[in-house]
Amino acid sequence: MTKVIVRSFSISLDGYGAGPNQSRENPLGIGGMALHSWFFPTRTFQRMTGGDGGATGVDDNFAAHGFENVGAWILGRNMFGPVRGPWPDENWRGWWGENPPYHVPVIVLTQHARAATRMAGGTTFHFVTDGIHSALEQAMAAANGKDIRIGGGVSTIRQFLRDRLIDDLHLAISPCLLGSGEPFFAGLHLPELGYRLTELVSSPNATHLILTKDV
């Protein structure tokens, strides 16, 4: 059965999922790279970026698990690139270069239509302009029975949470303070939405939480 999941989404100790002033130079906002300091050393990340080695253990287990049985992704537009407003052209093809780490269809939420972009390694970006429910329907069709991973950013995950569309989510709390940026939990009443903590595991680099939606 297809599940809608969030995996390895990092937030700060003060609850921010991105720093302020996101831009091409600072795609995660000012200070936002610290959110993923637990992820960068892992063997999973090193393999994603063409490296060798990398740390194993708790953090890598969570990172690797996030890529298992994923048949499609859904991303907000900021997760695809820094371009704002109507697309001036189709030269921007994502943050990851010609061979992104997804290797499955990726649905990108946007207000501005654009033709699908086919990349190396099996990734194709599809741009959806009519909201999260349409995006989820298209992801379901593309996933062929596998899971759908919501990749972020904060606004995208919050929209899916508010409509109770996420079955379970893994949050990695990084030991950093951002002070400002995009707050993850603001205005979300997760108990009323039916989410509860089902797993808590810590490493020296992060605290990993699994929140699961009640049936």
- Return the pLDDT at 1: 85
Q: Which domain CATH number covers 205?
A: 3.40.430.10
Residue in 125, 81, 82, 136 with CA at minimum distance from that of residue 103: 125
CB 118 within 8 A of CB 46: no
90 found inside a domain = no
Residue in 213, 102, 96 with CA at minimum distance from that of residue 150: 102
Look at the chain and report how many structural domains it folds into: 1
135 found inside a domain = yes
92 found inside a domain = no
How would residue 136 be classed by pLDDT, with cut points 50, 70 and 90? very high
**Average pLDDT, rounded, for the chain:** 96
Give the pTM. Answer: 0.95
154 found inside a domain = yes
189 found inside a domain = yes
21 found inside a domain = no
Strand partners, 5: 149, 168
- Give tens-digit pLDDT for 205-214: 999 999 999 9
| Residue 23 in this model has a pLDDT that exceeds 90 | no
- Give tens-digit pLDDT for 145-189: 999 999 989 999 999 999 999 999 999 999 999 999 999 999 999
- Return the pLDDT at 93: 95
Between the two ends of the chain, the Cα-to-Cα distance in Å is 14
Cα distance between residue 21 and residue 7, in whole Å = 24
89 found inside a domain = no
Range of the domain at 57: 4-16+27-83+98-213
- Return the pLDDT at 50: 85
91 found inside a domain = no
Percentage of the chain exceeding pLDDT 70: 100
Mean pLDDT of 19-26: 89
